[in-house]
A = this chain, B = another copy of it.
Amino acid sequence: MLEHISILTLSCPNRPGIVAAVSTLLFEAGCNILDAQQFDDTETGRFFMRVVFNRLEGSQPHEAIAAAVDGLAERFAMQASLREVGRKKRVMLLVSKFDHCLADLLYRWRIGELPMEITGIVSNHAREHIASTDLGTLPFHHMPVTRQSKMEQEAEIWRLIQETKTDLVVLARYMQILSDGFSAKLAGRCINIHHSFLPGFKGAKPYHQAHERGVKLIGATAHYVTPDLDEGPIIEQDVERISHRDTPEDLVRKGRDIERRVLARAVLNHLEDRVLLNGQKTVVFTD
């Protein structure tokens, strides 16, 4: 009965009574709380909450609950978001010819691991360059880009995002730096996978940088895109042990495994409304 399950996320200045107000609202609306997590950021005085609930028999309809949440949001100066779980997020995947993250996301989606609707796949490379991945009947858009055509290409992607009502853009090793303006438009709904353990090895060729420096672990970082390159709010990171025997090519190979699992976890957490923005950081209510 997924259609009767909803997720409420909210953040607001902290003050006594928020949990009581939220839980009482839901109780009185005929709902049962299935899961709730909260976080007080004592540094900034901001409060964050994620509540999963279902509507019991005889409950108020979704619209009435949404209206009540709006009232609550106004009272507590909340940023609140309410979503019925049955309404999956709509996701566009941007990719270069490195398709290991794309292949991984598509497989997870096909077997039901990632609750999303894919609105399309966009690449600056032609479809034949993504040879190892089965794209099925998913809409594929070849949108080549040069330094000169960047603005036009981004405008084209933006049109596609709007036409397809895309909620989330995933840069699955897209290898292109988005313009400041495009990054700003996608704030909080564009996830990138960077192939290093940020803040180490920003920029280009991080595995070669890591090899040069002689680190003993390599990593990957999934973060929201912001105009500040490789500085966006981090959602998920992971690492693996390497040794002096590993060439830069070995690091690229081992890194693929880290990249794909870090990106998949970040996307899943976003799809399940587990990630809340907290300035330049994230609150992740993990499973």
Contacts and interface: CB of A to CB of B under 8 A. Distances in A.
Interface of A: 15-20, 23-24, 26-27, 31-43, 56, 100, 103, 107, 110-111, 113, 131-134, 197-201, 213-217, 219, 233-239, 243-247, 250, 253, 257, 261, 278, 280-284, 286-287
Contact of A132 (B107, B133, B233): B107
Chain copies in complex: 4
Contacts of A257: 261
Given A234-B214, A234-B216, A239-B217, A287 B250 contact: yes
A35 B39 CA distance: 6
A217 B244 contact: no
B34 A214 contact: no
Contacts of A247: 42-43
B103 A107 contact: yes
Given A24-B20, A244-B283, A37 B37 contact: yes
**Closest 9 A-B residue pairs measured CB to CB?**
A214-B281, A134-B134, A20-B23, A110-B132, A19-B23, A200-B200, A20-B27, A216-B237, A16-B32
Contacts of A239: 217, 239
A11 to B, nearest CB: 12
Given A197-B217, A234-B214, A237-B217, A40 B34 contact: yes
Nearest to A14: B32
A261 B100 CA distance: 14
- Most B CB within 10 A of own CB, among A15, A217, A261: A217
Contacts of A282: 214, 244
Contact of A33 (B19, B113, B238, B245): B19
Contacts of A31: 16
A229 to B, nearest CB: 14
Given A16-B32, A16-B33, A216-B284, 11 more contacts: A19-B36, A20-B20, A23-B23, A37-B37, A110-B131, A113-B253, A197-B217, A198-B213, A213-B281, A216-B235, A243-B286
